[in-house]
Structure 1
């Protein structure tokens, strides 16, 4: 499909690409040594790192990486949702900053993480005190934000099938956590097809 990638699509590629920017090793077996991991943290997550370290869970997570000689993509991936959760709390809660305050700030990775979180909230509606995507909002997100990544779900029927798969609690609404499963799937696909050969 022709056209520019959406901010969400760019963000998904930045999440995966940032790991491989610092990774070493043969295709399919790249990993970050401790120096490369620290470089990734300081160069790519400097704005978010302060917020992550500001929580006990964040400190524990970062501490768990300190003893590792190498960090695989799968281990790096454990950090990504934690950072996104911090972004959600600090930018999309009632007491948090407004997302516009972070617009254009930070590394490509940080901007990508903000795009992933922001795309959900761009289409989400409040239902029962929580922000969720209904089927129509989800289809709009697919069509507007993921047309290059998920070309097969542009039809309403395919979009409905994907929605059903992601809707694990069968409430016919997608929470951020259920949306995150889609993000993980796309990032794994990008990793497999763009970096594992």
Structure 2
């Protein structure tokens, strides 16, 4: 991956600061990788992008191009301005954590999106007292009329991407989800690298 892209290593996390008006292109490089995504208001880490507040604001369950995501204070923080990935994302599933993997039968340490969030923040000198529910980019969690959900591979093709525009100064964190027990990262259950590129908001 070239053109100044930053790697979100398979199974790990990465943080980036965005000024209001900047945009970030999150690339599903292999096409099969889920990227857990968070955004925090830079000068107040207790204010962050909230899925439950965003669903009420958008009047839909998952964001589409042109939708605005809001914080737990109901303030706009990001806008989804472009999506070539098939517009299938998830706003309901919590970040994976040690207890999730224990429940799936894993013994001992397993990388998790929760750990990736906090480690990435620590890497830039920040911390969060909690783990907000993430925007799970590229994650395919279909539901039926009875409300039952399923766990499916992403529909994105290799190189599919979303572009998110920062509406306030914020800190974004991404985790290339390390889930390798169920097939949300493709039928081979193999986490891989994803990438992002930050710009001044002009076209990529």
Q: Give me the TM-score of the superposition, normalised by structure 2.
A: 0.27
Higher share of residues assigned strand: 2
* TM-score normalised by the chain length of structure 1: 0.28
Q: Which has the higher contact order (CA 8 A, sep 6+)?
A: 2
Q: Normalized per residue, which structure has more helix?
A: 1
